[in-house]
Structure 1
Amino acid sequence: MLKLAVLVSGGGTNLQALIDQINKGRLPDVSIEVVISSNRNAYALKRALAHNIPCAVIEKKDYENSQQFEDAFYNLLTSYQVDLIVLAGFLLILPEKIVKTYQNRIINVHPSLIPSFCGKGFYGLKVHEAALARGVKITGATVHFVDEGTDTGPIILQKAVPVYENDTPEILQKRVMEQAEWEILPEAVRLYSQGRLKVAGNKVIIESPEE
């Protein structure tokens, strides 16, 4: 059984996509052990509780300094003994200690085709605002392993989505979520659970399923 910790900060639509795929039997041998939120008011927590998934909250403002926060975060995460960490709209930069401990065991979904519109400051609607301002004709989403940089880790999967003339950032965000993020995030988890993702340098090789 592949045990997941899903990290969230907001609505939790990507968390819901994972829950739905598990409930439909499309992610066999995958379980969500805990949902950890950086925001105690995140709607994602209600989604988790509705499916009897354990929840935890870790807010930076509750700690006197960054070191205390990072230590508490690390201790919380490691207490669940998960195999894979999934960042599903998690708006905090992970402490380096966590990234190193879980090397090639943390994946993130980003709402653009990396390396476009990614890195520091590109999150949520800001990504789609930038894409529309640049006048791109296609955008999409990327699932990648997390390294010490911001959106710089090895790319696992990408899916393109068209951009239309009358799109607003909100409309484009919804299309990217529905047509790309909700598909490739569960698929990346499935490939990982099957042991088919191999990291070579900064690239991911997807191995064919065993006959």
Structure 2
Amino acid sequence: MKRIAVLVSGGGTNLQALIDAQGRGEIINGSIAAVISSSPDAYALERAEKAGIPGYVIDWRDYPSNRAMTAALVDKLRQLDIQLVVLAGFMTILTEEMVRAFPNAILNIHPALIPSFAGPGCYGLHVHEKALAYGVKLSGATVHFVSPECDGGPIVLQKAVEVLPDDTPEVLQRRIMEQCEWKLLPQAVSLFCQDRLSVEGRTVRILDK
């Protein structure tokens, strides 16, 4: 059984999707062992408490740099014997020490079809604002392994939704969360925990059971 840590900063809707999937028995050979927040005020910590999952705070304001915070986070993850790290709305940029500590064992969910609308500055509503401004007909979500390049790691799963003429960034965000993010992230986590993801360069292959 692989021990999973979910890293959060805010409301924790993707965390809730993982908690719900775990409750339904959909995360095979894995269990959420910890929720770690970069903010003591994150509602995601309340979600963890309600689910009986230990919550921890590593407040970015307590550290002089992202590198120092990353080092503290790696230490905590090692203390907790974590095998998979999931970034679920974690708003602090981690330095390369995290990737070195957990190679091909950090999953992130991005609210667009990478490589579109990805990279520095593309987070939250900004992603959907950019998609609408560009006039794309499809958007969606991507689960990928984390690499030193922002949003640049190998892609695990993607799912698309139609962009409708009257969409606002908020409406598009909600559709992508409901139809893509909340489905893809638990699926990718379960595949990892079953040792069914094989990384070959930039390609992630899903192995048969």
Q: TM-score, normalised by structure 2?
A: 0.97
Question: 1:65, CA displacement in angstroms?
Answer: 4.3
Specify the SS of the correspondent of 2:89. Answer: coil
For 1:1-211, list aligned pairs within 5 A.
Answer: 1-209=1-209
CA RMSD of aligned residues (A): 1.1
Find the residue that maps to 2:198 and give its secondary structure.
Answer: strand
Residue 107 of structure 1: how far off its partner (Å): 0.5
Deviations 1:101-138 (A, max 9, x none): 10000000000000000000000000000000111110
| Amino acid of the structure 1 residue aligned with 2:108 | N
> For residues 175 and 32 of structure 1, what CA distance do their matches in structure 2 show?
26
Other structure's SS at 1:157 match: strand
Per-residue CA deviation, residues 27-47 of structure 1 (Å, 9 max, x unaligned), is 233211110111111111110
CA shift for structure 1 position 89: 0.7
Deviations, residues 142-179 of structure 1 (Å, cap 9, x unaligned): 00000111000000000001110111101100000000
Q: Percent identity?
A: 54
Aligned AA for 1:187? Q
Unpaired runs of 5+ residues, structure 2, are none
Unpaired segments ≥5 residues, structure 1: none
CA distance in 1, matches of 2:63, 2:207: 43
Q: Distance in 2 between matches of 1:84 and 1:53?
A: 16
How much has 1:69 moved relative to structure 2? Answer: 2.6
Distance in 2, Cα, partners of 1:114 & 1:67: 26
Query: Distance between the aligned counterparts of 2:24 and 2:67, measured in 1?
Result: 41
Cα 1:65–1:121 shift into 2, 3 Å: closer
**Aligned residues between the structures:** 209
Structure 1 position 67, deviation (Å): 4.6
